[in-house]
Structure 1
Amino acid sequence: MTTRATIQFPSHGEQCTGWLYLPATATTATPPPVIVMGHGLGSVRTMRLDAYAERFAAAGYACLVFDYRHFGESEGQPRQLLDITKQREDFASALAYARSLSSVDGTRLVVWGTSFGGGHAIAVAADDGHASAVIAQCPFTSGLASGMAVPPWTSVRLTTLGIVDQIRGLLGAAPLLVPTAGAPGTVALMTAPDAEDGYLNLVPADGAGGFDNRAAARISLHLLRDTPGRRAAEITAPILFAVCDADSVAPAGPTLKYARTAPAGEIKLYPEGHFEIYVGEPFERVVADQLDFLARTVPAE
């Protein structure tokens, strides 16, 4: 039987909280490969990452699923501070922690990220240079492309609020929070027609995980300049890009362009939108494809 334990690991003076899944086949003599999994924009690990981890663990893989600092059950003040550099530091700290465990084989490590975490996975794997494989699911690869998907008036209002929030941060005041996902026409980081319902549909019914549909507005000043997709060309390990054709948040075009620069890249296309592949039949297809990729590149046995 798969086991799941709550764990903590240090990241730059604070503690990140997560889960460690161990497959039933795990033994001290033959520790399993480990998949380190990062969630998306403003999310927490309970927003369907457990569903993926359970499938991977059933196939013989250990999984380390964690919350970034300032979110969910991890430490970090102020809360809901969405900081690209800090989140990538946390991802790197999670890799280091996984490699320190005797219960897993840290020499067979897979970096897995979805949405905003998919961009992190690309950047962190490029920096790390020792991952056995990488999976980037509907990844954020171009801040400019994602920004162009936001209506101009919404962008102007977000930028204004971002400047105010940045000043508040410099003065030591509490962050100015904006919704992470909102209805079209509202001021939120994601306002595509499918964003609010699709995003909130990932939150567990019991509300577990400490999710809050808000983030510090200052992130709006930094998203446009972030282009993790450019780092794909530096990753020599096998990397699977799971791309949604109808992605309204992380447009497929730039992602496909960057994916084709990866020396050992593979691309799987799905007709669904950004939030649809986490649930139902689309989820089953994407998990099956990822398990096939894992079996070929980092076999569990």
Structure 2
Amino acid sequence: MVVERTPLTFESEGVLCAATLFAPASPPAQRPCVVMANGFSGTMDWILPSFAERFAAAGLAVLAFDYRHLGRSDGEPRQLVDVRKQRADLRAAVACARRQPGIRPERVALWGTSLGGSHVVEVAAEDARIAAVILNMPALDALAGANVEAKRERAGVSRATVAWVTARLLAAAARDAARGALGRPPRYLAVYGAPGEAFFTDPELAPRFERVAEESPTWQNRVAARFLLRVPRYREGTMERIAAPILVCLAERDVEVSAAFVRSKAERARRAEIRTYPADHFDLYHGDAFEQVAADQTEFLRAHLAP
């Protein structure tokens, strides 16, 4: 099925956000819609189109967007990741989707990956009209849900080294917050790079991020360091408040997000289905793992968004 892409914009707290609506190139019909929330530093030309094309080919509409401060959206300073603002942007994206001609406003689903998964959980818990939820390795809690020990073991470093790197990152975050309070340009950290100067440092990820830089022109390998001072924390009882059916996709070798932590929260939800794949955190976006995940998610969406 041919899929059309239509550029859109919407306002979020007075800031203009850029979006793309994916939909089958067939006669207009009242379709369900999936609103996609990308992960940390993600822009809508990274990861999202692969999933959106699959969902749209199955007859669904899909809205992907850039959070403010990132990609094609407005917002200064650039490359700022703010949890509260991004959740407001997601709410505005849902409202935008519900306004579109041909979209059934009562059949809007949420899809979130990594950091975007935590945003989706919060928004779905407060919006009883959300019809379905998909969570890809959701980073629900950056502290309690982090896989620090697994990451340390994979890197083959001591706990003292982890403490030193953490101290460097927090010092950079504090300096950046001070610069922000004074109206000065941000102190940036790399998304991927050397320990103490980046959020992701696993050498095995180098080819992944090289591919992102080549194929996603609006993505930048830097984020304002102040993000570390306001990371997402999970509020107990949130999953239980989600009325919609939930599909949770976990990577069993994930060292970025604790699959055990996510599972413990998802098992308390009213209508959660949990699937685990023999993969790493970033593997679910590529190759055979992606093919399986995309097929499972398409099946889930068709089952729960059908008339």
TM-score interval (norm. to shorter): over 0.9
Q: Map of 1:3-42 to 2, 5 A cutoff?
A: 3-25=4-26, 27=28, 30-42=29-41
Query: For residues 233-253 of structure 1, what are the alpha-carbon distances to aligned partners after superposition, in whole Å with 9 as ceiling and x for unaligned?
Result: 211210110111111111211
Aligned residue for 1:73? 72
Contact 2:169 2:197 in 1 (8 A): yes
Counterpart Cα distance in 2 of 1:158 and 1:165 = 11
Who is 2:225 aligned against? 217
The correspondence for 1:154, drawn from 147, 165, 169, is 165
Q: Give the SS at the match of 1:124.
A: helix
Deviation at 1:129, TM superposition (A): 2.2
The TM-score, its normalising length taken from structure 2, stands at: 0.91
The residue type equivalent to 2:241 in the other structure is E
Cα distance, 1:197 vs structure 2: 3.5
Which of 286, 294, 299 in structure 2 is aligned with 1:287? 294
Number of aligned positions between the proteins: 294
CA distance in 1 between partners of 2:5 and 2:168 (Å): 43
Partners of 2:121 and 2:213 in 1: how far apart?
25
Query: How big is the shift at 1:123?
Result: 1.1
Going from structure 1 to structure 2, the CA distance change for 1:270 and 1:147 (only over 3 Å counts) comes to closer
RMSD: 1.7
Q: Aligned letter for 2:75?
A: G
The match for 2:248 among 216, 219, 241 is: 241
Could you tell which deviates more after superposition, 196-205 or 87-96? 196-205
Distance 2:101 2:133 in 1: 22
Partner residue in 2 for 1:89? 88
CA distance in 1 between counterparts of 2:71 and 2:189 reads: 17
Q: 2:234 aligns with which of 227, 239, 243?
A: 227
For 1:7 and 1:220, the matched residues in 2 are separated by: 31
8 Å contact from structure 2 (residues 212, 219) kept in 1: no
Counterpart in 2 of 1:63?
A: 62
Mapped contact 1:140–1:228 kept (Cα < 8 A)? no
Greater CA drift, 122-131 or 264-273: 122-131
Q: Distance in 1 between matches of 2:119 and 2:206?
A: 22
- Asked if 2 retains the 8 angstrom alpha-carbon contact of 1:122 and 1:228, the reply is no
CA distance in 2, matches of 1:229, 1:278: 29
SS of the residue corresponding to residue 36 of structure 1 reads strand
| In structure 1, distance between residues paired with 2:191 and 2:119 | 18
Distance 1:229 1:60 in 2: 36
Percentage of pairs with the same residue: 36
5+ long unaligned stretches in structure 2: 153-161
Q: Is the 8 A contact 2:37 2:113 kept in 1?
A: yes
Q: Which amino acid aligns with 1:215?
A: V
The C-alpha deviation readout for 1:100-123, integer Å capped at 9, x for no partner, is 112211110000111111111111
- The answer on whether the counterparts of 2:33 and 2:109 sit within 8 Å (CA) in structure 1 is yes
Judged with a 3 Å threshold, the aligned counterparts in structure 2 of structure 1 residues 154 and 195 are, in CA distance, closer, same or farther, namely farther
- TM-score, with structure 1 as normaliser: 0.92
- Contact 1:119/1:229 (<8 A) preserved: no
Contact 1:39-1:116 at 8 Å conserved across structures: yes
Gap change, CA 1:229 and 1:158, over 3 Å in 2 = farther
